[in-house]
Amino acid sequence: MDDADLQHRALLAELATAYHLDNVSKVDIAKAFGISRFRVARLLDQARETGVVTIEVHDPRLPRSTREQALAEVLGIDTAHIVVLDEDPDDLRAEQFGAAVLTAMRDLARPGMTIGISWSRTLDRAARFLPALPPCSLVQLTGAYEVAGHGTLSRMLMQLDRRAGVETHPLYAPLVVDRRDTAKDVRRQPVVADALARAESLDLAVVAVGAWREGESAVWEKVSPDVRRACTQAGAVAEIAGTFLDARGAVVSTPLDGRVIAVGLPQLHAAHHVMGFAHGPKRAAAVRAAAASGAFTSVVVDSALAAALLGGAGHPR
């Protein structure tokens, strides 16, 4: 998928969001985008034909996907959703997966909810596909590791805040700082303290699950080789919202304790529903560890990661 295709699909997504989610008429959409009403109709049809818009009928008489049900059982969680990605370059696959996570968040969102969302490179890449949400409060759960050439989660939140009824609370802080006393100072800043306080009463949290290895954790990218080795020697295999877990799902103490600006497991355990997400087979051990810790109640993964998780548990791939 080249840039022109991505831009066209983004246009289809914008039109479809306005029509299907925001209830804007085709006539008003045509005026807003400077195109004819008939072209709007053709583009909306194209959105359906190309999969930008899908329609699901939730018939209670039908069972869930067998593989998704098996994955939920293997992980000991309520539900699992498996995303099939196109055969694109890695960065485009990450963008496609991030869009699927944001759509899953939208499907769980209800008016009046307090929704927490962790910063991740995956959602950073998919920010332009952010769907409309019902009136709610959206809270950033972790500081951000800025990525050159991409939109940031904070920008995504500002985009949301322009939509009627959505109140956003960005966490204006780095993901990792050099010293614990610096972290304490950052946490005392009013805007940071407000966001973290709101994370104490989450209805829904959406959190990335990272593996403690190169290329699989945003925290890994921000620390020295010595710290990476120390965390590995401590038994860390997974990182979720800056908390490190061993293979059994137990929290491990590392040199980064107190230096990551993020919510902790207690806030996630107190949330009514937590949706974890991860993609790529290298994160299989990390997802198992996070599930064992009780960090999430549902998960979104891609088919390659699902195969690794199910295959490792003796299920068909």
- State the pLDDT confidence band at 65, using cuts at 50, 70 and 90: confident
Query: pLDDT tens digit string along 225-258?
Result: 999 999 999 999 999 988 999 999 999 999 999 9
> What is residue 54's predicted lDDT score, i.e. its pLDDT?
78
Lowest mean pLDDT among 6-10, 32-36, 242-246, 273-277: 6-10
Tally helices (H) and strands (E) across the chain. 14, 9
- State the pLDDT confidence band at 210, using cuts at 50, 70 and 90: very high
Spell out a b/e string for 38-66, using b for 16 or more CB atoms within 10 Å of the CB, else e. eebeebbebbeeeebbeeeeeeeeeeeee
* 100, burial (CB in 10 Å: exposed 0-12, middle 13-18, buried 19+): buried
Query: pLDDT tens digit string along 152-188?
Result: 556 666 666 555 678 888 888 888 888 999 999 999 9
**Phi/psi of residue 266, each to 5°?**
-55, -40
Q: At which residue do the structure tokens 């965390």 appear?
A: 231
Query: pLDDT tens digit string along 108-141?
Result: 988 899 999 988 888 877 777 777 788 888 888 9
Q: Distance between CA 96 and CA 151 in Å, rounded? A: 15
Higher per-residue confidence, 30 vs 147: 30
Evaluated on CA atoms 24, 95, 289, 222, the torsion sign reads: negative
Query: pLDDT tens digit string along 258-280?
Result: 998 998 888 898 899 999 999 99
The partner residues of 204 in beta bridges, in order of sequence, read: 115, 273
Q: Distance between CA 83 and CA 165 in Å, rounded? A: 30
Residue 147 clears pLDDT 50, i.e. is over it: no
> What is residue 7's predicted lDDT score, i.e. its pLDDT?
84
Spell out a b/e string for 192-203, using b for 16 or more CB atoms within 10 Å of the CB, else e. beebbebbeebb
In contact, 104 and 168? CB cutoff 8 Å: no
Nearest to 92 by CA among 43, 132, 150, 21: 150
> What is residue 169's predicted lDDT score, i.e. its pLDDT?
85
The Cβ of residue 4 has, within 10 Å, a number of other Cβ atoms equal to 8
Name the residue type at position 38: F
Q: What angle do CA 266, 272, 273 make, to 5 degrees?
A: 95
Q: Which tokens is 203 given?
A: 């209805």
Q: Distance between CA 150 and CA 125 in Å, rounded? A: 6
- Helix 284-292 and helix 303-312: axis angle, to 10°? 70
Output the DSSP codes for 149-192: TS--HHHHHHHHHTSTTEEEE---SBSB-S-HHHHHHHHHSHHH
Residue 35 clears pLDDT 50, i.e. is over it: yes
pTM, whole model, 2 decimals? 0.73
Average pLDDT in the chain: 84
Q: Distance between CA 207 and CA 204 in Å, rounded? A: 10
